[in-house]
């Protein structure tokens, strides 16, 4: 038993390294093959219909055999035999316990697929329930010449399988966070100006390219121990006040986001620095940081206006249509005119407007327009 535990523990480090993205899954699968004296190992995630979502394979399953698997998954006899045996997800089983070897030899799956790749014949495997709607087929096949797996082999898979399930969940959540972070950063880049994400104390968590360039020039803003500060004493007093006021709205102790802060860039140029709150759930789930509280947009007031709809989408979680509707209303257009421009009926526009009211916590069109004018950079409201 002590030797068995040691062998299992030796598999956990490469498994969780793969889950964290430090190494490839092939490292864990190769270690597992060595422990179980197998010729292949596979970890395939499946959707509700049993279609492969991701496929990781090693040994004989690394390359052409794994590439061909989607063509044969529909006739794979093991999932049906597993279900017919009444086995609950997470219970390991040896192939010869589910299907008589002589019967397996006659299946199209073996005859057309496994037989052509080194005569894989026996397998030890388990079906895992990873998350709602996602399962995983975790199997370790070996060639006929090695003989069937033993109860000791199956015990190793029983001990490792719960960790494989946890590792897949962890990898999925990290990947989701990575995608959300990339999407969030792309959205900030798309605003078109210099933009930064700050925590409640003004520490910079993210800056897009334009903001990095602006801070490097130091015309009106710079950093001090990782915090965003204005270059002038008066400007910094106003900026820090705006950051505190905006953070207070996130915490629920402030009434509204402050007006933009005007900072002198040169004798002939002024920057408008606008802070608004990142308090919506869709922002908290970006994976960037649980401390993200403010989005700061730096605008040279002489620049060409652009991107209000993009800012509104990021601020309030609006759909593209809802953002365009709010943009039109904030620009002074009547609802009928906006509806016509967006090729929708007035009734449809009213439905979208109700959704905008809910997401912006407003009740009337005038409130919505006032909110937009108070919260977004001045240049974005210019036509």
Q: What is the full DSSP assignment across 140-199?
A: EEEEGGG----HHHHHHHHHHHHHHHHHHHHHHHHHHHHHHHHHHHHHHHHT-SEEEEE-
Q: Could you say which DSSP state residue 23 is in? A: S
Answer for the pair 318, 326: CB distance below 8 angstroms, yes or no.
yes
Neighbours of 334 (CB within 10 A): 11
Using a 10 angstrom Cβ sphere, with 0-12 exposed, 13-18 middle and 19 or more buried, the burial of residue 165 is buried
- Give CA–CA dist 240/242, Å, rounded: 5
**End-to-end C-alpha distance for the chain, whole angstroms:** 75
Kindly compute the dihedral angle of the four CA atoms of residues 41, 125, 43, 73, in this order, to the nearest 10 degrees.
Answer: 100
Residue ranges of the chain assigned to CATH 3.30.450.80 = 2-178
- Give CA–CA dist 144/323, Å, rounded: 62
Instruction: Give residue 154's pLDDT.
Output: 92
For tokens 């994976």, name the residue. Answer: 287
- Give CA–CA dist 234/306, Å, rounded: 29
- Give CA–CA dist 371/330, Å, rounded: 9
Answer for the pair 107, 101: CB distance below 8 angstroms, yes or no.
no
Instruction: Give residue 268's pLDDT.
Output: 63
Structure tokens at 146: 């090695």
Scored b (16 or more CB within 10 A) or e, 303-312 reads eeeebbbbbb
- Give CA–CA dist 135/47, Å, rounded: 6
Find all residues with CB under 8 Å of 297, minimum gap 6, and list them: 191, 193, 194, 195, 273, 274, 276, 311, 376, 377
CATH second-level architecture of 306-383?
Orthogonal Bundle (1.10)
Instruction: Give residue 39's pLDDT.
Output: 93
The SS3 call for residue 263 is strand
CATH T-level assignment (fold) for domain 2-178: Beta-Lactamase (3.30.450)
Please list the helix, strand and coil fractions of the chain in percent, rounded to the nearest 5, in that order. 50, 20, 30
Residue ranges of the chain assigned to CATH 1.10.10.10 = 306-383
Helices (H) and strands (E) in the chain, counts: 17, 12
Residue ranges of the chain assigned to CATH 3.30.450.20 = 191-303
Using a 10 angstrom Cβ sphere, with 0-12 exposed, 13-18 middle and 19 or more buried, the burial of residue 252 is exposed
- Give CA–CA dist 211/298, Å, rounded: 8
Find all residues with CB under 8 Å of 15, minimum gap 6, and list them: 28, 160, 163, 164, 167
- What is the reported pTM? 0.51
Answer for the pair 368, 362: CB distance below 8 angstroms, yes or no.
yes
Regions of the chain short of the pLDDT cut 50? 1, 254, 280-289, 301-306, 378-383
Using a 10 angstrom Cβ sphere, with 0-12 exposed, 13-18 middle and 19 or more buried, the burial of residue 123 is buried
- Give CA–CA dist 114/139, Å, rounded: 14
- Give CA–CA dist 203/358, Å, rounded: 31
Instruction: Give residue 151's pLDDT.
Output: 92
User: Which CATH code is given to the segment(s) 191-303?
Assistant: 3.30.450.20
């Amino acid at each position: 038993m002590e030797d068995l535990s040691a062998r299992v523990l030796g598999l956990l480090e490469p498994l969780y390294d793969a889950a964290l993205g430090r190494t490839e899954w092939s490292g864990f699968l190769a270690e597992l093959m060595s422990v179980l004296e197998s010729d292949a190992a596979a970890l395939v995630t499946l959707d509700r219909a049993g279609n492969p979502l991701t496929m990781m394979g090693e040994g004989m399953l690394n390359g052409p055999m794994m590439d061909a698997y989607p063509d044969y998954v529909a006739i794979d006899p093991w999932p049906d035999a597993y279900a017919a045996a009444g086995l609950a997800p997470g219970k390991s089983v040896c192939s010869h316990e589910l299907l008589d070897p002589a019967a397996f030899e006659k299946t199209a799956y073996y005859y057309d697929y496994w037989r052509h790749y080194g005569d894989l014949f026996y397998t030890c495997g388990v079906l895992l329930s990873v998350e709602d709607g996602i399962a995983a087929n975790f199997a370790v096949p070996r060639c006929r010449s090695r003989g069937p797996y033993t109860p000791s082999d199956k015990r190793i898979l029983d001990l490792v399988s719960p960790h494989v399930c946890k590792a897949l969940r962890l990898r999925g959540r990290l990947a989701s966070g990575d995608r959300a972070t990339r999407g969030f950063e792309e959205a900030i880049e798309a605003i078109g100006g210099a933009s930064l994400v700050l925590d409640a104390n003004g520490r910079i968590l993210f800056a897009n390219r334009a903001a990095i360039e602006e801070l490097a020039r130091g015309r009106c803003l710079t950093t001090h121990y990782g915090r965003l500060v204005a270059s002038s004493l008066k400007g910094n007093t106003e900026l820090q006040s705006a950051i505190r006021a905006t953070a207070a709205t996130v915490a629920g102790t402030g009434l509204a986001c402050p007006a933009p802060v005007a900072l002198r860039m040169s004798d002939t140029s002024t920057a408008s620095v606008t802070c608004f709150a990142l308090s919506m759930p869709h922002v908290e789930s970006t994976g960037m940081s649980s401390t993200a509280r403010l989005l700061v947009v730096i605008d040279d007031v002489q620049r060409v206006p652009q991107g209000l709809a993009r800012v509104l989408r990021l601020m309030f979680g609006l759909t593209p249509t809802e953002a365009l509707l709010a943009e039109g209303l904030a620009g002074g257009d009547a609802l009928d005119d906006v509806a016509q421009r967006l090729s929708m009926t007035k009734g449809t526009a009213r439905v979208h407007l109700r959704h905008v009211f809910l997401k912006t916590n407003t009740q009337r069109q005038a409130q919505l327009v006032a909110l937009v004018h108070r919260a977004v950079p001045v240049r974005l409201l210019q036509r």
